[in-house]
Amino acid sequence: MADVTQRMLDLLSTLQTGRAFTGDELARRLGVSPRTLRRDIDRLRGYGYPVDTQPGPGGYYRLASGRTMPPLVLDDDEAVATLLALASLSAAEPPAEPSTGPSSRPSTAPSTAPSTAPSTAPSNGGSIDAAATRAYGKLDQFLPARLRPQVASIRASLETSPQRAPSVAARQLGMVGEAIAHRETMTFSYTDARGERTERRVEPYRQVHHLLRWYLLAWDIDRADWRVFRLDRVTGPARTGRRYTPRPLPADSASDHLRQGLNRNKEPVTVLVGAPAADVVDALKFQDAEIDSVDDTHTRITLALDSWQWLMLNLAFLDADFEIDAAPHLLAACRAFGERLLASVPGRGGETERL
């Protein structure tokens, strides 16, 4: 499939010069047989390209004028996946500012009602969610003609509920990505969780999307250590033009390092739940937890806690038996809470059971 795609792109690039080519000349340029060339020409027409053909002596292939912008080379499933990905990304919107009036966002699909909430994106470009909303509405213009009705039907049938998340400028993500690709240091101002602002010089390595937040893993040059930055708290990013020698990542992946940092001050807990993994995943879908199936009816959850109260609430929603393996003080707090629950049930006062 990769060879076919590359061949099609090479054929498009050749035809878009605007001149006419004989079949033998095109086949020779592309390194294919005349039969393969004819199949590829048919594929182009299937994607919506008007390829003119003159058969016989003096015959040629030529791309009709006015079609220099190629449709996306996507199959049916890829087109649907792209549309759904854009819909999901466009559902993110910045937290709304306090207002005494009615909401300005109707509850309809992103294609007809993009978010009108005030943007907190940096001033160096539109937010990535707003860009996704725009692309969502125009995707079918760049698809093959045969896919456009299907994409239009899916768009008409689809709605996504808004998810509150800080905005990040699409241009900023692009700039950081280019700096990483070219191994180029960057400078920017950073505002931490306490509201303190500092100037940073970094070697950027990875961008990570985790739980509706965008992060940058970078080596902080002045602090001589690895740091993770929330990209929505970065302002004034700039590439310096100075190259750096890559360092080994501080973990198996940037995502692993990010999660280790986020969980550094939390309590590790393992819970064996008497429920299938599918039920557990659904109950904890917005939590950063490792969920492993033990068998058809038992699942092991590994996570890091800010508080035992959070754990009790989520286990209650599972409606299943469970066993907790955690530090003694966490187990004592859970046991005390269980005893209070039992004491609150009429006829069970003072009676304790295994949690």
pLDDT of 230: 96
Contact present, 73 and 11 (Cβ < 8 Å): no
Give, in words, the CATH class of 176-251.
mainly beta
- Distant-in-sequence, close-in-space partners of 51: CB < 8 Å, separation ≥ 6: 15, 41, 44, 45, 61, 62, 63, 64
Give the Cα separation of 21 and 60 in Å (integer).
5
Burial class of 82 by CB neighbour count within 10 A (0 to 12, 13 to 18, 19+): middle
Give the Cα separation of 144 and 151 in Å (integer).
11
- Count other Cβ atoms within 10 Å, centred on residue 195: 7
* Closest by Cα among 174, 241, 170, 169 to 201: 241
Contact present, 90 and 170 (Cβ < 8 Å): no
Asked if the 2-63 domain carries CATH number 3.40.50.720, the reply is: no
pLDDT of 66: 56
Give the Cα separation of 278 and 187 in Å (integer).
44
DSSP string, 116-129: -SPP---TTS-BHH
In the chain, which residues fall in CATH 1.10.10.10?
2-63
Residue given tokens 């725009």 in the structure block: 134
Give the Cα separation of 92 and 85 in Å (integer).
12
How many angstroms separate the Cα of 219 from the Cα of each of 183, 227, 289, 343? 12, 6, 27, 54
pLDDT of 96: 57
Instruction: Kindly give the confidence (pLDDT) of every residue in the chain, 355 residues in length, as a single tens digit, with 9 standing for 90 and above.
Output: 446 777 887 888 788 777 889 999 999 988 899 999 999 999 888 877 888 888 877 788 988 765 545 556 677 888 888 899 999 888 887 765 544 443 333 333 333 433 333 333 444 347 898 888 888 888 887 787 778 888 889 988 988 888 888 989 999 999 999 999 999 999 999 999 899 999 999 999 999 999 889 999 999 999 999 999 999 999 999 999 999 999 999 999 999 999 888 888 889 999 999 999 988 988 887 778 899 999 999 999 999 988 888 888 888 888 899 999 999 999 999 999 999 988 998 875 545 444 4
In the chain, which residues fall in CATH 2.30.30?
176-251
In the chain, which residues fall in CATH 3.30.70?
267-343
pLDDT of 183: 97
* Closest by Cα among 280, 284, 305 to 294: 280
One CATH from 1.10.10, 3.30.160, 1.10.3470, 3.30.70 for 267-343: 3.30.70
pLDDT of 115: 37
Cα 265 to chain center, whole Å?
A: 26
Q: Secondary structure of the chain: what % helix, strand, coil (to 5)?
A: 40, 25, 35
